[in-house]
Amino acid sequence: NAGVMQNPRHLVRRRGQEARLRCSPMKGHSHVYWYRQLPEEGLKFMVYLQKENIIDESGMPKERFSAEFPKEGPSILRIQQVVRGDSAAYFCASSPRSGTGFSYEQYFGPGTRLTVT
């Protein structure tokens, strides 16, 4: 059973370009979370999605950032018009569905390290 897959592992973008980060959850997992890790910091929650639905985007910056988890295919975190401050590691986690709807185990992918030059 493959773990959470993220690609690319490293992404370099110039200021003003778009960055698209992909996440494929573990098989059987229907919940996806995106986190951002700045250097020497812990992870900060950005958004929580289920298939075709954004459940909680309270951690997403209001502008330039969007996320989706389509019916088919991976979850995508999209950053438009990147700036130097977007340079960070972006981690995706997935979680299985529980009978109560609450999934307490989150399994993380290896991350995408975004560098904005």
Spatial contact of 33 and 25, defined as CB atoms under 8 Å apart: no
Whether residue 106 contacts residue 94, with contact meaning beta carbons closer than 8 Å, is answered with yes
Which of positions 60-89 make contact with other proteins (CB under 8 A)?
A: none
Among 18-26, 27-35, 66-74, 80-88, which window interacts with other proteins (CB under 8 A)? 27-35
Does position 108 interact with other proteins (CB under 8 A)? The reply is yes
**Neighbouring-strand partners of residue 43:** 37
Q: Considering only residues 52, 73, 83, 105, which one is a binding residue for other proteins as defined by CB under 8 A?
A: 105
Of 11, 21, 35, 86, the one binding other proteins (CB under 8 A) is: 35
Residues in Cβ contact with 13 at an 8 Å cutoff, skipping those fewer than 6 apart: 19, 82, 114, 115, 116, 117
Supply the minimum distance, in Å, between the C-beta of residue 109 and other proteins: 5
